[in-house]
Structure 1
């Protein structure tokens, strides 16, 4: 396996790898994936990234006796405000399980540090449930959320950093994206609360599970988060969330759903 910077001619193959990887592992609709890939990895977009000195593009190439050398993984990083941010890291589903993702991450972060990055952060789509496990296995910690616009879609990225980093994240406004994700709520003594038949439920922002439309958060009957009430759906603001015996969540009002992560299906070469 070789990690190198791609040529502009590799744009089509990069787009194929990104598309197949997202289709396999990210809980977005086909239309959302198509829009995201077209927006971020069209020929013109890749050319612009090649010409931007603050952006790092690297691909993994592998070869064998039965096939020609081919691009099997891709990573994109950016230098900003002293940070090296890993924005995209994908591996062709047919080549997972070979450590390609880990090698791409290590090579990209080393290159970003060589170019002047003082800290490293990784952003992972909220809908990419398996990617969160991968980043955590690298020793990074969830350090906030960021809402971004991609192809006219408003999506949330989880931001991960190395432990004990005390620095402002690149592009940070000082507000967490989750501040915007609580419909039908108000703040009581700094805590996010909502009402259910006259009963106040307290939402635990640090206890989140991913959903197809928006996250689910643990809800409690008291401000000390000891008496569990259930779950709160951040898509519609409902507390009418059910869980089956497989730990699958579903909002009874809007249909937002969550399936518990499967470690058996997880491939540690994917982010």
Structure 2
């Protein structure tokens, strides 16, 4: 899997991904979706987007095939950015591509010293809203986006304030550190990464947000299950992350 900057040559692939993604995610009419894709990614608008200095337009490829992309606008005056769209072709969903794209956006923004990321997703997209919540974002308001001439409500998410590290002593007497900013969605409550040092260099295991216990076992597929309460994390191979 490779994430790179989109180029003018990617226009047709981007349009196909956007159209198929919108069809799979929203109850919009075929005409509305087609008109929207043409409006947003026609020759002139697409070329402008990939050339803008204040836009991060990333595309992900799987075995050389474009399968998803993101659009993020950077606000220099606010030291922040808005992730406007994250689209993954429906044929490639459930493989963690959405999470990979999101992580790439965060990494690129950190390299640019952008400290704040807002996420925007249409309110009707339940999976998209859950995606941001699982990433530790909180809904802070609502906005409006025009799609094919009609207004639609979008939810605005902002990353929750960091809670930092919490030291914890294990049953064997070892001091470990729970990182509440390192979040993995669980079936009941999130799991948090646990490290053996405050610099987060060595992973110890996971903290269960449901019963407050520690677990240091993960199977080969990436599945975590709390032995105390049954809270579980899906295997990463079948991670149904947003798009």
TM-score, structure 1 as length reference:
0.58
Unmatched runs of 5 consecutive residues or more in structure 2? 163-237
User: What's the CA shift for 1:3?
Assistant: 0.4
In structure 2, what is the equivalent of residue 238 of structure 1?
none
- Separation in 2, partners of 1:57, 1:5: 6
1:75 and 1:86 in contact (8 A); partners too: yes
- Separation in 1, partners of 2:130, 2:43: 31
- Separation in 2, partners of 1:268, 1:119: 26
User: What's the CA shift for 1:267?
Assistant: 7.2
**How big is the alpha-carbon RMSD for the aligned residues of Structure 1 and Structure 2?**
1.8
User: What's the CA shift for 1:44?
Assistant: 1.6
Aligned residue pairs total 166
Map 1:77-156 onto structure 2 (within 5 A): 77-80=72-75, 81-156=78-153
User: What's the CA shift for 1:148?
Assistant: 2.7
1:14 lines up with 2:11 in the alignment:
no
Map 1:53-92 onto structure 2 (within 5 A): 53-63=53-63, 69-80=64-75, 81-92=78-89
1:163 lines up with 2:160 in the alignment:
yes
1:270 lines up with 2:242 in the alignment:
yes
User: What's the CA shift for 1:134?
Assistant: 1.2
- Separation in 2, partners of 1:58, 1:3: 7
| SS of corresponding position for 1:144 | strand
- Separation in 1, partners of 2:12, 2:43: 7
In structure 1, what is the equivalent of residue 227 of structure 2?
none
User: What's the CA shift for 1:123?
Assistant: 0.2
| SS of corresponding position for 1:116 | coil
User: What's the CA shift for 1:25?
Assistant: 1.4
1:26 and 1:129 in contact (8 A); partners too: no
User: What's the CA shift for 1:30?
Assistant: 1.7
In structure 2, what is the equivalent of residue 205 of structure 1?
none
TM-score, structure 2 as length reference:
0.64
Change over 3 Å in CA distance of 1:139–1:42 after alignment to 2:
same
